[in-house]
Structure 1
Amino acid sequence: MKELFSPANVITVTGAFLTVIGAVAYGTGAANLSVPTLFYGFPIFLGGLALKTSELPPAKKIPTSKDLTDLQNAGPPELKKLVGDVTRWRYGQKTHLESSLQVLKLWDNDKPPKLLEIEELDTGKGYGVRLRFEIGGVALERWEEKKDRLSRFFAKGLQAELLCKDEGLLDLMLLPIQSKINAQDEHASE
């Protein structure tokens, strides 16, 4: 259902509708209606088709059982921005987080990693996210080499964990680092 209401689809349908109205008005001799609708409708229709060819749908967002609003607000604002960024329609990109993956040197031009889904997590220590990638042409070893950099790249105070359950799929979990104060409190209570 979400695919039906993409901005490109709305623009294309609007342009097609105006073009049809303009063509019918031209055929019936209603010059006052045909000129503006044809002159505006056809370019809008073409613009919608152009957007449709470069459209990247949002990554699938896994629903959580809890309301994480309070945790989101307490967590790093960069993670909230990341979730918002990958769950909206994008245009002119091959995949979500394209520029970030290029900077991290986790990019392959022929088979780039593809973000499939994102899930917000309540880790007990705070707010985190899980990003599931189809790793494409980037070897798992290269992801492992960049693990420390991934921890710092998206926001401060996070640690990256990599899980590879299925062949070709990788879960990148960005989790909050347990502060030293909390760790000392846990040892004191034991």
Structure 2
Amino acid sequence: MNDLLSPGSLVTIAGGVLTVVGSIAYASGNANLSLPTIFYGIPILLGGLALKSSELPPARRITPKSQLKNERQAATPELGKLLGDVTRWKYGQKAHLESSLESLKLWDEDKPPQLLEIEEICPSGHYGLRLRFACEAVPIQLWQEKRNRLSRFFAKGFEVTITPLKGDRLDLFLLPVGVSASDKQADAREGDSGETDSGETVNG
């Protein structure tokens, strides 16, 4: 569904429809319809295909927009900008947060890190984000070495915790200073004793 709804796909479909309609009109001798539709359709189709070739899909958004709405609005605006930036279609970029990762020296031109998903979390009532990366050619050890700089980079008053996962993946937690990512698991365990929180997502 995301592929179908991308801007590149919509432009390609529009150009394809115009081109087909113009070709049919030309074959049936309807010059008034065929000339303008082919004239506009082919460039639009080619433009759409060019967009598709440079398309970067949004990172998977784990937390629905309807959840944590108040916490999101009350949080530091840098987090909202980060969330919005990585959950939209990009063109001409190899990875989300490309310029940020380059600045942080967490970049490889051939196999850059890929942001797979982003989750809004609220451990102990403190709003933050969890970003899951596939490290690709950038070793996890380098991410850990850059942790202090990462903490200063995204938002003032926040710090980064890095949790290595299987393979070349890691979870990057961005939370207010003094708030531990482990508080999220504690909140989840407390929720299990009562009504299930539909917003809690279990990630493998």
TM-score by length of 1: 0.89
**1:132–1:169 contact (8 Å) kept in structure 2:** yes
Alignment of 1:62-101 (within 5 A): 62-63=62-63, 67-101=67-101
- Say if 1:165 and 1:65 are closer, same or farther in 2 by CA, change over 3 A: farther
**How many Å apart are 1:165 and its aligned residue?**
2.4
1:112 aligns to what SS in structure 2?
coil
Look up the match of 2:198. Answer: none
Whole-Å Cα distance in 2 between the matches of residues 43 and 147 of structure 1?
A: 47
**How many Å apart are 1:64 and its aligned residue?**
5.6
2:124 aligns to what SS in structure 1?
coil
Which amino acid is the alignment partner of residue 46 of structure 2?
Answer: L
**1:160–1:175 contact (8 Å) kept in structure 2:** yes
Whole-Å Cα distance in 2 between the matches of residues 63 and 76 of structure 1?
A: 18
Which runs of at least 4 in structure 1 moved beyond 4 Å after TM superposition?
none
Look up the match of 2:144. Answer: 144
How many residue pairs are counted as aligned between the two chains? Answer: 179
Matched, 1:47 2:47: yes
Whole-Å Cα distance in 2 between the matches of residues 23 and 159 of structure 1?
A: 59
Whole-Å Cα distance in 2 between the matches of residues 178 and 169 of structure 1?
A: 25
Alignment of 1:12-161 (within 5 A): 12-63=12-63, 67-161=67-161
CA RMSD of aligned residues (A): 1.6
Q: Deviations over 1:126-174 (max 9, x none)?
A: 2100000011111222111111111111111101000002121111100
2:61 aligns to what SS in structure 1?
strand
Gap runs ≥5 in structure 1: 180-190
1:124 aligns to what SS in structure 2?
helix
Whole-Å Cα distance in 1 between the matches of residues 134 and 121 of structure 2?
A: 20
1:116 aligns to what SS in structure 2?
strand
> Please, which moves more after superposition, 15-24 or 56-65?
56-65
**1:125–1:178 contact (8 Å) kept in structure 2:** no
Gap runs ≥5 in structure 2: 180-204
Whole-Å Cα distance in 1 between the matches of residues 138 and 107 of structure 2?
A: 7
Which amino acid is the alignment partner of residue 104 of structure 1?
Answer: L
Q: Deviations over 1:57-91 (max 9, x none)?
A: 11111136982111111111111111111111111
**1:150–1:160 contact (8 Å) kept in structure 2:** yes
Look up the match of 2:185. Answer: none
Whole-Å Cα distance in 2 between the matches of residues 38 and 140 of structure 1?
A: 52
Alignment of 1:178-189 (within 5 A): 178=178
Look up the match of 2:166. Answer: 166
**How many Å apart are 1:178 and its aligned residue?**
4.2
